[in-house]
Amino acid sequence: MNSKVGIFWFAENTLVFKGQSAIDLKPDQLGFIDSTLQHQVEWEDNTIYQLFGLMLDNTDYYNYPRSRVVFNIDQNFSYVYLDKSLFNIYGNILWQKLLKQ
């Protein structure tokens, strides 16, 4: 298994993301592996957006559409929990970018 789980946003036309290897994490009772990453911590405390060339200081993590990728070990399949606004506009484009990571 070489799958990743994690969180991401779409801010200022930029995909801002952070992932973890699913193999390093334990599944829940339903077989889902979720990242231990938290949107608020990564955005507000770790200023992850700066790694992507964005200067969004003093912005809140919830001001931008955010999403999460989880993995199910029983199905050997990733699930993307995508903000509705992202899915309607960028669903396929974002999915292709995430698959290349």
Rounded distance between C-alpha atoms, residue 92 and residue 73, angstroms = 23
Looking at residue 86, its pLDDT comes to 77
Residue type, 23: I
Contact 42, 35 (CB under 8 A): no
State pTM to two decimals: 0.83
Domain boundaries, the chain: 4-99
Classify 62 as helix, strand or coil.
helix
- Within the chain, strands assigned E span 4-11, 14-21, 32-33, 66-72, 77-81
pLDDT by residue (tens digit) across 16-53? 999 999 998 999 999 999 999 999 999 999 999 999 99
Looking at residue 99, its pLDDT comes to 65
